[in-house]
Amino acid sequence: MSEFIVRCITSDCKVASGIVEKTVELFDMGSTIPFIARYRKERTGGLDEVQIQQISERLTYYRELQDRKGTVLKTIEEQGKLSDELRTSITNCSDKQELEDIYLPFKPKRKTRASIAKERGLQPLADLLIAQRADIKNKNEVLSRFVDPQKGIDTIDQALAGALDIISQDIADNASYRAWIRNSLSNRGTLVSKAKKEWAEKSSKFEMYYNFSELLKRSSAHRILAIRRGEAEGVIKWSIHADNDQLLAYLDSQVIRNKTFIFYKELLTAIEDSYKRLLFPALESEVFNAKCVEAERESISVFSKNLKNVLLAPPAGDKVIIAIDPGFRTGCKVAVIDGTGKFLTNTTIYPHEPQNKKNEAEKLLAQLVDQYKVEIIAIGNGTASRETDQIVRELIKNKQLDLISVVVSESGASVYSASEIARKEFPDLDLTVRGAISIARRLQDPLSELVKIDPKSIGVGQYQHDVNQADLKNALVFITEFCVNHVGADLNTASQSLLTYVAGIGPAVAANIVEYRNLNGAFKGRKELLKVAKLGPKMFEQCAGFLKIRNSKNPLDNSAIHPESYHIVERMAEKLECKVKDLIGNDKLLGSLQLSDFVTEEVGIPTLSDIVNELKKPGLDPRAEFSYAIFSDAINDLSDLKPEMVLEGIVTNVANFGAFVDIGVHQDGLVHISKLSDSFVRDPHEVVAVGDNVTVKVLAVDTKLKRINLQLVS
């Protein structure tokens, strides 16, 4: 790898060059980010997944930049215009935009006014004018030499106009000028949006942007993306307002060297033409698009944070669960699963209008609770959710049942129920029953169930359809992989969907693992993975530590200790004159170890510390303890809300401007960022996360617009 790339990544990521080199070596050897972060800490200096991902992204960026440099150098060299100075500028360039600015004058263009003028032989005249020689005294004498009717230049005015077109283009192509004006527009330009004429008197979701302006650099991501969407839908138009006099004065100062030059006024005309016709329109779009890219990154980052919190939500664990997918006319679909997530039975109840078979529904639910020893009733948060929750809570109270009722987000459940995955899992069940099963399983283990659903269907993103879809997909895959490998997977029960995200595996090998398991029964040990089709030694190295096996002959197979380190644990046991199994959970024995006794060239204190910590609590689930919110019985509809009410709720989404909270009225309320704390909050994610149980106070309710303003209490 080139020193240039190492130097750039070191600067961008604020990481020592030696660590960058070793991390890139691991990438080039086919190592995955989860594997590197957990099992190669000595080489990376203990970098976490986010830092390693950043190195990976910058590595891709600079390798693409180097490839582009090669193309640019070759193209300019073929034109015979590659000077030593230009070669150095290109070679040392560390920014894609800067490289394109350098290349712009040499980039093949479609026919322009300047290119036509050059074809007519007016480049020497343009060079003469831009040189601004003091000894030139007669305009006609200079211009008449370039009149040539055979080339389409019949008059001196045509000759002058063509030369000025060349100068205008050269000014517009100048990398330094473009960079200066781009920077000025980015930092001092004002973003202005107006309603299009046909929308000026109409209502729309973009009304706040009908007459809007603010400093571009202060425009938040959601406003930028909203303005872009409004333009795409033909409702508004945007522009960037700048101090044109200041920008023209800058260009004048750069181009004009002799104010007594006889073509001084003509040069000023060329500068103004270059700015208004070429430079400003191009840079206005470029700067706005750059701001959109920045906004997309921010939006994707928010989505990623929310997705991480949803996937790592505390699991209810191996409880027997009744799930209810509520509804009015078509009834409530009921499904029961056991502690492993296995489907047991299903039925439909009709406690609401128009059937109103409440007593029958309660009787049937009570029978299911008794028959299957149910511990939790999970209720989807869609239509009829609050009404169903009330009936269930009354049932629990009246029958004195030893169980709890929990409202669960059903976002994406319908997507799962119609998916190929669901059809394979439950080919004989109706879509609605599959949806109910999904609701139960996502309470039991959110991560295992939600990996089966496209993250974009989970409902925790803002403007997700307005961002670069490839970038969004990559970010969400990274977060999903992080969560799956952070928690780990049970090799003998994990679904194909979950196994797909385990480090190094992917969809094809995940399917092979499930097929092997179906044919041969449960895996007896981690080494048996090597018998799976297409799972070779390198893939085993990457995935083995994240796959756990309960009741394996080797107790270390149910830990996050990598098989490559089993010999270290065996040495520890030998040192303490005990068996490996005696070390597990034995703080006293483990505390007596001197880790320095086991340090080698490859294994240092970071890895040894991880091994000891894992031995203390092998297989510990890193997710928080399960908890749930209880909605008020008195609040079922928007009309029930009154200012100053204090209620429990669940955070359903977090955006840059605040957090949305479900308080049980079929419409989420907004806690604006200014109402999240008494002190200043820079990022709502610092205060709340998706899935948090919170207490909020109602500030205002607009039943017409269905808006609820809330304040976070705790």
Residue 694 to residue 647: CA distance in whole angstroms: 8
Residue 125 to residue 166: CA distance in whole angstroms: 9
Q: What does the pLDDT read at residue 632?
A: 80
If you average pLDDT over residues 156-180, what whole number do you get?
A: 97
Q: What band does 488 get if pLDDT is binned at 50, 70 and 90?
A: very high
Which of 384, 397, 390 minimizes the C-alpha distance to 350? Answer: 384
If you average pLDDT over residues 491-516, what whole number do you get?
A: 96
Q: What does the pLDDT read at residue 460?
A: 78
Which of 122, 119, 116, 130 minimizes the C-alpha distance to 157? Answer: 122
Has residue 85 got a pLDDT over 80?
Answer: yes
* Tens digits of residue pLDDT in 452-484: 998 888 877 777 888 899 999 999 999 999 999
Q: What's the whole-number average pLDDT of the chain?
A: 94
Has residue 320 got a pLDDT over 90?
Answer: yes
Which residues contact residue 368 at a Cβ distance below 8 angstroms, ignoring those fewer than 6 apart? 322, 334, 336, 345, 347, 374
Has residue 635 got a pLDDT over 90?
Answer: no
Q: CB–CB of 258/134 below 8 Å?
A: yes
The owner of tokens 């100048």 is: 174
Which of 555, 546, 700 minimizes the C-alpha distance to 638? Answer: 700
The owner of tokens 């005294």 is: 137
Q: CB–CB of 517/523 below 8 Å?
A: yes
- The one-letter code for the residue type at 616 is K
Q: What does the pLDDT read at residue 509?
A: 98
If you average pLDDT over residues 379-404, what whole number do you get?
A: 91
Has residue 636 got a pLDDT over 80?
Answer: no
Q: Is 338 helix (H, G, I), strand (E, B) or coil?
A: coil
Has residue 445 got a pLDDT over 90?
Answer: yes
Residue 528 to residue 532: CA distance in whole angstroms: 8
Which of 326, 442, 381 minimizes the C-alpha distance to 651? Answer: 381
Q: Is 215 helix (H, G, I), strand (E, B) or coil?
A: strand
Has residue 190 got a pLDDT over 90?
Answer: yes
Q: What band does 612 get if pLDDT is binned at 50, 70 and 90?
A: very high
Q: Which of 360-369, 477-486, 673-682 has the lowest mean pLDDT?
A: 673-682
Q: What does the pLDDT read at residue 108?
A: 86
Has residue 709 got a pLDDT over 90?
Answer: yes
Which residues contact residue 460 at a Cβ distance below 8 angstroms, ignoring those fewer than 6 apart? 303, 306, 307, 310, 411, 652, 653, 654, 690
Task: Name all domains of the chain by residue range, CATH numbers in brackets.
Answer: 3-106 (1.10.10.650), 115-303 (1.10.3500.10), 638-712 (2.40.50.140)
Which of 576, 572, 578, 563 minimizes the C-alpha distance to 599? Answer: 572
Q: CB–CB of 688/675 below 8 Å?
A: no
Query: Maximum Cα–Cα distance for the chain, whole Å?
Result: 108
Q: Which of 11-25, 477-491, 667-681 has the lowest mean pLDDT?
A: 667-681
Has residue 637 got a pLDDT over 90?
Answer: no
Q: What does the pLDDT read at residue 640?
A: 85
Q: CB–CB of 16/523 below 8 Å?
A: no
If you average pLDDT over residues 4-13, what whole number do you get?
A: 96
Has residue 620 got a pLDDT over 90?
Answer: no
Helix segments in 380-533, DSSP class H: 385-399, 413-417, 420-425, 431-444, 446-450, 469-487, 496-500, 506-520
Q: What does the pLDDT read at residue 101?
A: 95
Q: Is 560 helix (H, G, I), strand (E, B) or coil?
A: coil
Structure tokens at 199: 């929308």
Structure tokens at 661: 């909270």
Q: What does the pLDDT read at residue 628?
A: 83
* β-bridge partners, 701: 708
Tell me the Cα Rg of the chain: 33
Q: What band does 109 get if pLDDT is binned at 50, 70 and 90?
A: confident
If you average pLDDT over residues 493-498, what whole number do you get?
A: 96
If you average pLDDT over residues 13-23, what whole number do you get?
A: 96
* Tens digits of residue pLDDT in 235-292: 999 999 999 999 999 999 999 999 999 999 999 999 999 999 999 999 999 999 999 9
Q: What does the pLDDT read at residue 337?
A: 97
Structure tokens at 76: 């300019």
Q: CB–CB of 122/166 below 8 Å?
A: yes
Q: What does the pLDDT read at residue 703?
A: 83
Q: What's the angle, vertex CA 627, arms to CA 623 and CA 633, rounded to 5?
A: 155
Count CA atoms closer than 13 A to 170's CA, side-chain side: 17
Which residues contact residue 558 at a Cβ distance below 8 angstroms, ignoring those fewer than 6 apart? 548, 549, 550, 551, 552, 618, 619
Q: CB–CB of 712/694 below 8 Å?
A: yes
Structure tokens at 568: 């270290």
Which of 449, 383, 443 minimizes the C-alpha distance to 412? Answer: 449
The owner of tokens 């096996």 is: 549
Structure tokens at 484: 């799956």
